[in-house]
Structure 1
């Protein structure tokens, strides 16, 4: 029996009083849910022999996750490395990206999709050479950092393809990244920071509110852009491990300026910087940053430079380095090795004091 499987439809499907009944999805071919007398289980049909595989039980396994698993199994089975000698590049990329959906951060997946599909090849994956790929990368983007990112994306992809049996060797193995990048050292001066903070206060929109919160908290751009209302709890940011770079939950107290800013934003959307009609993370940083630089006439800086500036100011106002690292959610540095294993102190109260001192600094820098 075929039906359109939705969360509501799955919930309403009755258990079978006589044997088993399988309802096949109208959206994803060969994917369905089997209802027995005691349970409901997601299933997928694989190959010409129509081999049925059970994915997991409802509701322990959600419909969305079950559908992802089914798509991955279907595409992987269709592209079994043992079936043919050569596989089309585009087919292998699709299997890889489908698998990545279940194990990498959305921002990482977006980068993989950008380069692996933007720099496309026709024909077998085994015919791609390192020299050919480097030429295509340099034609696709002139940015040194983007070329390096594309190189890394392809190298990770080819390593995966080797492990899965699609390639005997990684064509990029003998090559190094196109550019050796120097560590960024840009720290905004007090006057520059005052200009940016005042600009954000005078031109409130989703972008400037994100920038203002970056200044006030020192967190990473992606963590703030993807911030959800459920991540704010009792005057603190509580970022789950799947939203942080080091995969560890991060709790950081919010100062009065940050709380004031959040109070001005209308709730209702899932994302703090989403809207009722566009409930998804903000994604217009390029044009918005360029506009801000043009209107403030400031020398170019990146939003990550605000994080470095945040740390530098804390050093100036006397915040102990281990407290600054806690605010930034750094896992390396002063609390590492044996200390990181045995020192389980959260330093929350120390962070609250540091945040208050930082707010005082901002208040004197840019009176409002």
Structure 2
């Protein structure tokens, strides 16, 4: 068995003479440079520095393999490492920090704005909030605003009118590390969109984008607020949300309060109701969807995809699952609302007895989803032509809420019927008090019907 010396003058010839150690690693120190050594294993010979320090554990630093380095090269590197140790520097810690920095730099490069927006969409909007289609559509728009775009800028002329200024190219931010997007860049891009010509030009003339860019940057702001605490960027990197700059420079605009609704105190209610009844001859499903939404004070996201399995004709109830505020609701059905569902059920029985092929209450074969589109904008446009009044689906909720307040219904029941988030401890009693909820729904329904009849008679008398 070969006997390894503990110390020799490390030279090429001496190292070549030393065989590999099949059992355990052997360390042989250099006689010429204290702290310089070679470590012999079963298949390699590696130069190291091994230095005892006055305080702490001995330091061992790997220099490199013999063959990759000559003895002279290794000796020079060893002298450098020994000098660092003498100065109180830990070469291993320096290497570790360099590796961590490299990993961090690679992580930063991989965590692009596209990555951030996708993480926010999946983890927060979909997994936590349920992924409502309207929100996901807004998220797609947000990504479009952050991608490469050519926009036309507007400017004011001496007469204070908007006119075409020039076209500019905005670079895509999606492939950039999200940490590298600066506050100045956020402010500049936002200000460009404040002057940008919208895709659809208003009939009133040239005017900049009003709302969609605000929504896009609001989601961008939310995405940063989402990721900062998760990655502890505020603590570890002293990183701030760059979108905060829009608040500092007061770029956010308050959303205009919408008041549009079906005016039930004027003849307008009769004209609109007549249009609904007439439109039922053209499209019974669409007209039923719109009228049922009004009578149930429902959101489009809850009613458009409603299935027959949610309807209980024995108890005259309908259950809405996973609504916007995350709660399930079981509602009683008022008389006319029940008639609407029963008529649709009769239609369904003729074509689909078990409601398996067409499970949706408001089945719509023309749609990819199989149910009527949530906004039903085309149908509301048709009603506008018949009645002279355009309302959106959300305007129906506003109409119902206004009528309920006029009828002096209990405020908590109104909020419950509108499916507003309620923190009142008495909300649990509302769940059991179906009678009070039905009374409110029926009172508002009766009010609408009475107003329609009233103004129909007035129109008849005038004619």
> 1:151 pairs with 200, 217, 236, which one?
217
Tell whether the 8 Å contact from 2:286 to 2:372 is kept in structure 1 after alignment: no
Matched residue SS, 2:114: helix
Tell whether the 8 Å contact from 2:270 to 2:452 is kept in structure 1 after alignment: yes
Tell whether the 8 Å contact from 2:116 to 2:223 is kept in structure 1 after alignment: no
Q: Report deviation, 1:318.
A: 4.5
Quick check: 1:237 aligned with 2:318? yes
> 2:409 pairs with 297, 319, 329, which one?
319
Write the distance in 1 (CA, Å) between the matches of 2:431 and 2:278: 39
Tell whether the 8 Å contact from 1:197 to 1:366 is kept in structure 2 after alignment: yes
Matched residue SS, 1:83: helix
Look up the match of 2:127.
102
Q: Deviations over 1:135-156 (max 9, x none)?
A: 4654485553433322221111
Quick check: 1:194 aligned with 2:270? yes
Q: Structure 2 unaligned segments of length 5 or more: list them.
A: 1-102, 148-171, 199-207, 234-238, 349-354, 457-463
Tell whether the 8 Å contact from 1:228 to 1:270 is kept in structure 2 after alignment: yes
Closer/same/farther in 2, CA of residues 293 and 179 from structure 1, 3 Å limit: farther
Matched residue SS, 1:173: helix
Q: Report deviation, 1:172.
A: 0.7
Write the distance in 1 (CA, Å) between the matches of 2:257 and 2:113: 34
Structure whose alpha-carbon radius of gyration is higher = 2
Q: Report deviation, 1:338.
A: 4.7
**TM-score, normalized by length of structure 1?**
0.65
Write the distance in 1 (CA, Å) between the matches of 2:268 and 2:217: 34
Look up the match of 2:334.
255
Matches within 5 A, 1:35-184: 83-86=106-109, 87-99=111-123, 100-104=125-129, 105-107=131-133, 108-117=135-144, 119-120=146-147, 121-122=172-173, 123-124=175-176, 125-128=178-181, 129-135=185-191, 137-138=193-194, 139=196, 141=198, 142=208, 144-165=210-231, 168-176=239-247, 178-184=252-258
Write the distance in 2 (CA, Å) between the matches of 1:208 and 1:171: 47
Closer/same/farther in 2, CA of residues 280 and 338 from structure 1, 3 Å limit: closer
- The alignment yields a C-alpha RMSD, in angstroms, of 3.2
Write the distance in 2 (CA, Å) between the matches of 1:283 and 1:338: 32
Closer/same/farther in 2, CA of residues 95 and 309 from structure 1, 3 Å limit: closer
Tell whether the 8 Å contact from 1:119 to 1:140 is kept in structure 2 after alignment: no
Write the distance in 2 (CA, Å) between the matches of 1:290 and 1:331: 31
**TM-score, normalized by length of structure 2?**
0.53
Closer/same/farther in 2, CA of residues 208 and 319 from structure 1, 3 Å limit: same
> 1:356 pairs with 417, 425, 442, which one?
442
